[in-house]
Chains A and B, each alone.
Chain A
Amino acid sequence: MNLSEKTTQYIDRLIPRYPVKRSAMLMILHAIQEEQGYLSKEAIEWTAQKLEVQPIAVYEVVTFYPMFRQAPIGRRHVKVCRTLSCALRGAYKVCDTLQHELGCGLGETSADGNYTIEFVECVAACGSAPVVMVDDKLHENITPEKTPDFAAKLKRETTPSMPPSRH
């Protein structure tokens, strides 16, 4: 598989941390996704071989954990928390506004490939609700009123030269 030397070396350092190889599964899948943006069939089979398990064992894990995906997404991964504390403070409105401003439907990737917007469940930052994660960064107190500015800033930061999100 076409994996950078840095990631390969990282994975080779990860495995011996665990008494049983298979335990490194989630960490390896994270590492591959953070380089390639998603987990291809090749990545699943590579991981299976690396951990000496059947490919189905990796496939079962990839589909169980919501953070893993099997296809590339937009350049920015916008994750709006929808669980109670955020919803009470307007998360659904925030999500509406983001969809409108970014030209992207919920659970979809925008036509220009810039954004993927998803609802996610509680990300453990309820005291600063509503919260939105963009890629690996948490943004707090993104109230419905602040959302247009937030979206505008996101648009300024996003350029066509960026690769699909790896987070």
Chain B
Amino acid sequence: MSAPATNLVTINVDGRDYQVPAGMNLIDALELFGLEIPHYCYHPKLTVAGNCRMCLVETGMPMRDRTTNQFIIEPDGRMKIGWGPKPAVACTTNCTAGLHVRTNTPVVKDCREGVMEFLLVNHPLDCPICDQAGECKLQEFATDYGRGYSRFIEEKNVKPKRTRLGPRVTLDDERCILCSRCVRFCAEIAKDPVLGFIERGSYSTLTCYPGRELDNNYSLNTVDICPVGALTSTDFRFKMRVWFLKPVPSICTESSVGANTEVWSREGKIYRITPRENNAVNDCWMSDSGRELYKQVESPLRIDYFAVNNGKCAPDQALARAAELLKGGGVGYVGSAQSSLEEQFLLGQLVKAAPGPVAFVKHAGKGDGLLISNDATPNLRGAFLTGLVRELPKANLDELRQKVESGAIQTLFVVHEDLAALGFSDALLRRVKIIYLGTHTNLMSEHAQVVLPGLTVFEKSGSFVNQQWRVQRFFQAVPGPAGTAPDIQVLGQLLARVQGESAGGFSPEAIWPQISTVIAPLAGWTWESLGLQGRVLDASSWAHVPFPEGKSLRFDPAAVTAVKAG
């Protein structure tokens, strides 16, 4: 989807005209209309290889009279088309005005049947034990375009199986169809060209250089783009048949890039995370480390209870005690850039109801220029937007510490952050009454007078504002542990108690009318309007803030600054 949609041209496919962006790749152009040209090697984000030959179609152009240079018109009034002598691959065909394409002729059908047959002659056909089954292009296209029977009775080639290609990727060379997507991905996107083909002809074999491994932090994308079962995720291997899994759109919380993801689960258990295409954010990629984050969900350390003074209790009791402490004055807050925009908004309301200073913790990350930024939180900009912070968090919490030491702060409401890990000593933590909203037990939950359970991004819905000031939604993939409630409800009920009002239902949908009223750049926006690709807001109010992020795949702060300056 690379070409700008401004300049449209008319092409004709199987007798019907379509308006498509000039110069657009034919496969992509037809996909806009829901028309599939089957393909294996072509990938819109990689260079064109043209090697699988599955996308062969017939192409032609209107013929011109050599002397007059006028289009030749057939007796029936149609333009005479000069069809190519041989079928052409759609993946190297760019849309130009007058392009004619035939995808339903006997020749094209025969091409597809032929390629399918060739791809399967040396394929092990071990679908019953293959992880790709259910999302395998060989299976799909064999069904849609294959002959349905085999003429091959010779011995199949033997190649290495169950090869460890790297710490996270397993290779079955017999299943590989040599499309070179993974090789191109490593060279072109990950900039780590460790994969290659050795040997020749039908014996060609995908491999890593002996002694090297496919161990870059993007290695699992090769598994995603492998159209067959050759590259599999070692983590996911043999865990679950994919057709039992339900994908839910989510956002990666690894950094402020906010890679769009899908979280795949069955019966409340997450099995894998894969990237979700968003060409303004992460294209079709995500980091390997981001895919591991679901492992925090199932943990013996999960806080799945409400507690007061280290004794588990009913939610009402804990919330009542928390409200009491907040209303007692001398309150300080530690907010979280892991919280959703909606949660931060409610925290902001709470701060208004029970005023006190708000601190945020700096979580510096190490940007990789691709899909991990220098800010290891997903939603610091949400904190700016909701007014919780006005400047970037500092490396230390000295101001907060001083206020605790001086006794100015007596009650500390902490969301997700572990102050002990930030150097707050036991003695210091004992000087304040702590209300802790968090997902996992730690020193904070041990010290807290009130413990409120929090949920991970996978167990709740909401939105994050990424480094581009793009507001992106994530949805609940699995329910939280029994005894918990979404953060948004906990915060909402606490707010109601502090304000002395009765608590209503708290959900992102319910809160957004307020958000769009209060937060100027979001005026007129609704929860639904965020869609699945997010919306970018006008962030000129924060143009002066020296955010730490550098260039990444689809974000260039220098370019943003230049636009603002211009």
A: residues with CB less than 8 A from B are 41, 54-57, 59-60, 63-64
Contact = CB atoms under 8 A, between A and B. Distances in A.
Interface stretch (B98-106, B194-202, B221-229, B505-513): B194-202
B479 interface: no
Contacts of A41: 210-211
A54 B194 contact: yes
Given A63-B199, A64-B200, A57 B193 contact: yes
Interface string B169-201: 000000000000000000000000111111110
Counting from the closest, the 9 A-B pairs by CB-CB distance are A63-B198, A56-B209, A56-B196, A60-B196, A55-B209, A54-B193, A63-B199, A64-B200, A59-B209
Contacts of B208: 56
A30 to B, nearest CB: 18
Contacts of B198: 59-60, 63-64
Nearest to A54: B193
Contact of A54 (B199, B200, B209, B211): B209
Nearest to B208: A56
A55 B208 CA distance: 10
Contacts of A64: 198-200
B196 A59 contact: yes
19 contacts: A41-B210, A54-B193, A54-B194, A55-B209, A56-B193, A56-B194, A56-B195, A56-B208, A56-B209, A57-B193, A57-B196, A59-B196, A59-B198, A59-B210, A60-B196, A60-B197, A63-B199, A63-B200, A64-B199
A63 B197 CA distance: 9
A54 B193 CA distance: 7
A60 B208 CA distance: 10
A54 B197 CA distance: 13
A2 B7 CA distance: 61
Contacts of A56: 193-196, 207-209, 212
A55 B200 contact: no
Contacts of A55: 209, 212
A46 B485 CA distance: 60
A64 B196 CA distance: 11
Given A56-B209, A59-B207, 19 more contacts: A41-B210, A41-B211, A54-B209, A55-B209, A55-B212, A56-B193, A56-B194, A56-B207, A56-B212, A57-B196, A59-B196, A59-B198, A59-B209, A59-B210, A60-B196, A60-B197, A63-B198, A63-B200, A64-B198
Contacts of B212: 55-56
Contacts of B211: 41
A63 B207 CA distance: 12
A54 B207 CA distance: 13
Interface residues of B, number: 14
Contacts of B199: 63-64
Interface of B: 193-200, 207-212
B207 to A, nearest CB: 8
B396 to A, nearest CB: 43
A1 to B, nearest CB: 16
Nearest to A63: B198
Nearest to A48: B209
A44 to B, nearest CB: 8
A60 B196 CA distance: 6
Nearest to B205: A63
A57 B199 CA distance: 13
Contacts of A59: 196, 198, 207, 209-210
A139 B198 CA distance: 32
Contacts of B197: 60
Which of A54, A55, A56, A63 has the most C-beta atoms of chain B within 10 angstroms of its own C-beta?
A: A56
Contacts of B200: 63-64
A59 B193 CA distance: 13
Nearest to B198: A63
A54 B194 CA distance: 7
B160 to A, nearest CB: 14
Contacts of A60: 196-198
A63 B199 CA distance: 5
Which of B193, B195, B198, B199 has the most C-beta atoms of chain A within 10 angstroms of its own C-beta?
A: B198
Contacts of B207: 56, 59
Contacts of A57: 193, 196
B344 to A, nearest CB: 45
B192 to A, nearest CB: 9
Contacts of B193: 54, 56-57
A117 B198 CA distance: 23
A60 B180 CA distance: 13
A129 to B, nearest CB: 25
A55 B199 CA distance: 15
A54 B190 CA distance: 14
A60 B207 CA distance: 9
Contacts of B195: 56
A60 B210 CA distance: 12
A65 B541 CA distance: 62
A69 to B, nearest CB: 13
A157 to B, nearest CB: 33
B336 to A, nearest CB: 42
Contacts of B210: 41, 59
A16 B150 CA distance: 53
Nearest to A53: B193
A138 B194 CA distance: 39
Nearest to B209: A56
A55 B198 CA distance: 12
A39 to B, nearest CB: 13
A17 to B, nearest CB: 25
B216 to A, nearest CB: 13
A106 to B, nearest CB: 18
A9 B195 CA distance: 31
A158 to B, nearest CB: 31
A45 to B, nearest CB: 9
Which of B196, B197, B211 has the most C-beta atoms of chain A within 10 angstroms of its own C-beta?
A: B196
A87 to B, nearest CB: 20
A67 B349 CA distance: 76
A60 B209 CA distance: 9
A41 B211 CA distance: 10
A59 B198 CA distance: 7
